[in-house]
Copies of this chain bind each other. A is one copy, B any other.
Amino acid sequence: MTPTVPTLRDTIAEDLRTQITTGHLKSGDRLPSEPKLATHYKVSTPTVRQALALLQAEGLIEKTHGKGNFVRTPLRRITYTGGTGIPFAPDLQTTIRTTTVRARGHIRTLLKVPSNSPLTEFQCTTYEGETPRSVARIYIPRDLAPTARLASSSWPGGRDVDRTETQETVTARLPTPEEASALRISPTRTVLTITRIALNSTGRVLEAALLALPSDAADAVFTTHPTLKEETDR
């Protein structure tokens, strides 16, 4: 059903796609310029551009204004592991900026703290070489925040306090302009977002974290060992 006739842009995209996947066009290669592709395929440039937009959405090519269209070097996928701090992979560097902010809006709701109560905000960016691979904002009530050992390996709001539960919500959406520029991706490329809150045994929220990762090169992995409660409460 719905055997719709492939459009010109689809057939052009399909042709380029096979050239890429068969290795005819290699990683990092520059594609012919758009006018050249247009004359080659005997179509107008907008049609070529629509085909390229498809390949861009699939993550196969990268467009750079003034330089050309390039076969995308496949990014190694990075993995966010549930319950941990920030995405992890070998050879990732992380920069962290720490500021103090006042609780408001969504963050306040997540942390269940009064309005304007002081929070420590960690702005984390993970890099692979020069390429940003994830951004995170982590908020911790200031009376819980570690102060002097940010450079240590232990994570803020981490394992030294009793942390009994971590709730993580995963969604995909278009990036905010800030996220797009921080990750250096096009505003049309979706990001995988993770909203995480950590609770202690009294139900107090120890931490709220908002993470964003380019969805075409990121996975989030969660491993659950069912507890007795989960086994019985249904």
Contacts and interface: CB of A to CB of B under 8 A. Distances in A.
Interface of A: 1-2, 46, 57-58, 82-83, 159, 163-174, 181, 188, 190, 192, 215-216, 218-227, 229-231, 234
B57 A219 contact: no
B190 A223 contact: no
B166 A224 contact: yes
Nearest to A188: B57
Contacts of A234: 159
Contacts of A164: 225-226
A55 to B, nearest CB: 11
A47 to B, nearest CB: 12
Nearest to A223: B167
B188 A230 contact: no
Contact of A2 (B1, B181, B192, B220): B181
Nearest to A196: B222
Q: Which of A163, A169, A224 has the most CB of B within 10 A?
A: A224
A169 to B, nearest CB: 5
Given A169-B219, A170-B219, 8 more contacts: A163-B226, A165-B223, A165-B225, A166-B223, A167-B221, A173-B215, A190-B215, A222-B222
Given A57-B174, A83-B226, A174-B58, A221 B169 contact: yes
